[in-house]
């Protein structure tokens, strides 16, 4: 595994949703670094990649209310504990839980284990509210998947806030967990 600059030179074996991420980042002239790796499904499995990325590695949690009418993507530092009651009180949404895989795929075209803020590019109806823990915003870089869990990206947080989110027509709300 090595950290390389930009998109892969050969994308013939890559999924379309991953290629769309590179196309978006390149169209916005965002510099990013990439590490390709085996499939990683847990934060523990990501430990070595996280060390190589040298960035705030986020747990990206896809949540919903009990009625499945409000959906949230929460970016939280990978080592921070998540308690639903703390978040529920801040956003005024009782009974938060993890959204099901079907909703995740329908709304942001991502499968479990690959959740990423970059999936918001697929949320054309703005059905998902982005929540960012205040500690994520303290770093210069953050790490995330390009909508698949066989690669990880290192991107400047400033580029997320000032280029990516406006381009995909999403705003964010800061939360404290």
pLDDT of residue 82: 87
Give the integer Cα–Cα distance in Å for 63 and 159: 24
pLDDT of residue 44: 66
Q: Percent of the chain scored above 70 by pLDDT?
A: 95
Long-range contacts of 4-12 (CB under 8 A, 24+ apart): 4/33, 4/34, 4/35, 5/31, 5/32, 5/33, 5/34, 6/31, 6/32, 6/33, 6/34, 7/34, 8/34, 8/36
pLDDT of residue 52: 82
Q: In whole angstroms, how far apart are CA 175 and each of 35, 69, 74, 132, 162? A: 29, 20, 9, 6, 19
Given a cut of 90, is residue 76 above it in pLDDT? yes
pLDDT of residue 41: 63
First to last CA, the chain: 33
DSSP letter (8 states) at residue 7: S
pLDDT of residue 49: 77
- How many domains is the chain partitioned into structurally? 1
Model pLDDT for residues 87-124, shown as the tens digit of each residue? 998 999 878 999 999 999 999 999 988 899 999 999 99
CATH number of the structural domain spanning residue 23? 3.90.960.10
Model pLDDT for residues 22-57, shown as the tens digit of each residue? 999 999 999 999 999 888 666 666 677 777 888 877
For residue 57 the two structure tokens come to 């590695």
The mean per-residue pLDDT over the stretch 148-160 comes to 94
Given a cut of 90, is residue 172 above it in pLDDT? yes
pLDDT of residue 13: 92
Domain range enclosing 104:
3-175
- Residues, the chain: 177
């Amino acid at each position: 595994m090595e950290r390389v600059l930009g998109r892969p030179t050969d994308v013939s074996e890559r999924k379309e949703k991953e290629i769309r991420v590179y196309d978006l980042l390149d169209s916005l002239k965002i510099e990013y670094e990439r590490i390709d790796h085996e499939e990683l499904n847990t934060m523990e499995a990501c430990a070595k990649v996280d060390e190589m990325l040298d960035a705030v590695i986020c747990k990206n949690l896809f949540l919903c209310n009990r009625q499945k009418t409000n959906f949230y993507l929460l970016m939280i530092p990978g080592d921070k504990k998540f308690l639903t009651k703390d978040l529920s009180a801040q956003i005024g949404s009782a009974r938060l839980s993890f959204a099901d895989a079907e909703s995740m795929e329908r709304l942001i075209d991502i499968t479990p284990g690959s959740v990423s803020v970059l999936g918001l590019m697929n949320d054309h109806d703005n059905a998902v509210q982005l929540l960012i823990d205040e500690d994520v915003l303290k770093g210069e870089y953050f790490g995330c998947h390009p909508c698949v869990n066989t690669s990880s990206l290192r991107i400047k947080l400033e580029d997320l806030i000032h280029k990516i989110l406006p381009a995909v027509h999403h705003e964010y709300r800061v939360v404290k967990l």
